[in-house]
Amino acid sequence: MSGEHDHDEIIEGISEQLRGVFDGSSQGIYVYLDDRHKACNRRFAEMLGYPSAAAWNHPGAFTEQYVDEQSWDALVATYRRAMEHHAAATVEVTWKRRDGTLLPTSVILAPIAFRGETLAMHFVTPR
């Protein structure tokens, strides 16, 4: 599966499957397939100053939009290692809130599979 439409369906499907976890978790959670195909729970959106998960989900370069520049390399390297080795990992990430303030967090990143695609599920806890 590599088409844009297929990826839209994957994000919609995984979001629905994870609805109970998304809604019930006290942690911020997001699932990432690529910069255009991602979803988060309301808690994560609110942590970054967005009124809803839909308001958070802008197309564009994920790290440039949401991650403090000093955390880019660590997040990307951790993501690549986790996806390559199919192993969960933790990383310290500082996020950029919608208002420009910074939010330091600890992130647990775990690869998950859905409909033949591997995605990364992230659990975000403020420090």
Question: Which CATH number belongs to the domain containing residue 75 in this structure?
Answer: 3.30.450.20
pLDDT higher than 90, residue 3: no
Q: What is the CA radius of gyration of the chain?
A: 14
Q: Answer whether 111's CB lies under 8 Å from 120's CB.
A: yes
Mean pLDDT of 78-104: 97
pLDDT digits (tens, 9 = 90+) for 18-67: 999 999 999 999 999 999 999 999 999 999 999 999 999 988 899 999 99
Say how far residue 82 (Cα) sits from the centre of its chain: 14
pLDDT at 19: 97
Arithmetic mean of pLDDT over the chain: 95
Rounded distance between C-alpha atoms, residue 1 and residue 109, angstroms: 23
Say how far residue 71 (Cα) sits from the centre of its chain: 14
Domain count within the chain: 1
Mean pLDDT of 65-77: 98
**pLDDT cut 70: percent of the chain above it:** 96
Domain around 35: 4-126
Mean pLDDT of 61-77: 97
Say how far residue 30 (Cα) sits from the centre of its chain: 3
Rounded distance between C-alpha atoms, residue 5 and residue 21, angstroms: 25
pLDDT digits (tens, 9 = 90+) for 54-63: 999 988 899 9
User: pTM for the full model?
Assistant: 0.93
Rounded distance between C-alpha atoms, residue 6 and residue 3, angstroms: 5
pLDDT at 25: 97
Classify burial at 123, counting beta carbons within 10 Å of its beta carbon; exposed 0-12, middle 13-18, buried 19 or more.
Answer: buried
